[in-house]
Structure 1
């Protein structure tokens, strides 16, 4: 797993899975990647805020004055490129998955019902691999495109895995399945 990505983050897991769809690789150097990112952001200030650095630091990194950027900046650049690289291919794949299915999630985390303790379905750490129902695939991709927070994405994944694993649909008003304390999560399609 690439150290730039958080193994516990659903956002990063979706971006890692999308990297397998690329038909060509992004630029290799950080300065070339920054130039690509500038073409996708409105201005230097927007990109600097996204990378959590000052505009002056961004200018210095673009000019290559400070040599190699810090490890933290390098990882931020890598994550941002993964989020924005080849959007048409990503959109086509997401649309196709939302229609036909085929998205798998593999995770280790606390998962189960929030109800009465003692049953075999009670919440505990589980290592699971499940195929997500198509309804949730489109919800998950839509939320990711709108840059939803991790809690929202976790709720969607919990509902999807709850329906696939426990055969419990939250659409019937049953919101009893939780996913938390994720050690790692991966998606594949």
Structure 2
């Protein structure tokens, strides 16, 4: 199920990493997944907006009418289930990851480097990296995700953490340029 998902979104990548801590698997069919989502969201219009489908299409899917689900809708339903499944297990895993040193690993392909003048050796470029996020970045990242921080805020936390790990610089030191992460092709997280 999770092998169907890859993403350039940090929030979605964290949700996918959370799925590796589940103690029970979510429903397998689109209809069962949609029933689960409908139990969490009482407003059908809000659910249909989040899934990018009309309320009528969702009703047809719940009634098992043929042709109700397409690949795009199936993927949207799966992403929402991954985001909402087993919140207590997710919270417990976040607490453990936030308290442990070197507990989060990130693997990505994207534009990464210092904010420097164009053409300098410090200028950013497309990189494919696998790095550990050191303390306190996992805790900051998971807390920001818990509070539904914007993708830009999450990206800044990840960039600072990778910059400290990869370049061995702290973003707070005077005289150092901040690092930036942009144009992400894909990103994956894992934590223990």
Check whether TM > 0.5. yes
Please say if residues 112 and 122 of structure 1, whose CA atoms lie closer than 8 Å, have aligned partners that are also in contact: yes
CA distance in 2, matches of 1:75, 1:142: 26
**Corresponding residue number in structure 2 for 1:160:** 161
Deviation at 1:157, TM superposition (A): 0.6
Please say if residues 34 and 77 of structure 1, whose CA atoms lie closer than 8 Å, have aligned partners that are also in contact: yes
Quick one: structure 1 residues 146 and 74, their matched pair in 2 at CA, closer, same or farther if it must change by over 3 Å? same
CA distance in 1, matches of 2:129, 2:151: 19
Report the number of matched residues.
Answer: 187
CA distance in 1, matches of 2:132, 2:69: 39
**Corresponding residue number in structure 2 for 1:111:** 112
Deviations 1:36-94 (A, max 9, x none): 11111132122112112122222121111244511111000000000011111110001
CA distance in 1, matches of 2:84, 2:135: 24
**Corresponding residue number in structure 1 for 2:125:** 124
CA distance in 2, matches of 1:62, 1:134: 45
**Corresponding residue number in structure 2 for 1:44:** 44
CA distance in 1, matches of 2:26, 2:37: 11
TM-score, normalised with respect to structure 1: 0.90
TM-score, normalised with respect to structure 2: 0.88
**Corresponding residue number in structure 1 for 2:61:** 61
SS of equivalent to 2:116: coil
Quick one: structure 1 residues 111 and 118, their matched pair in 2 at CA, closer, same or farther if it must change by over 3 Å? same
SS of equivalent to 1:154: helix
> Structure 2 stretches of 5 or more lacking a match?
none
The answer on 1:2 being equivalent to 2:11 is no
Deviation at 1:95, TM superposition (A): 0.8
- What is the root-mean-square deviation of aligned Cα atoms in Å? 1.9
Please say if residues 51 and 73 of structure 2, whose CA atoms lie closer than 8 Å, have aligned partners that are also in contact: yes
> Structure 1 stretches of 5 or more lacking a match?
none
1:184 to 183, 186, 190: 186
Deviation at 1:172, TM superposition (A): 4.1
Please say if residues 97 and 134 of structure 1, whose CA atoms lie closer than 8 Å, have aligned partners that are also in contact: no
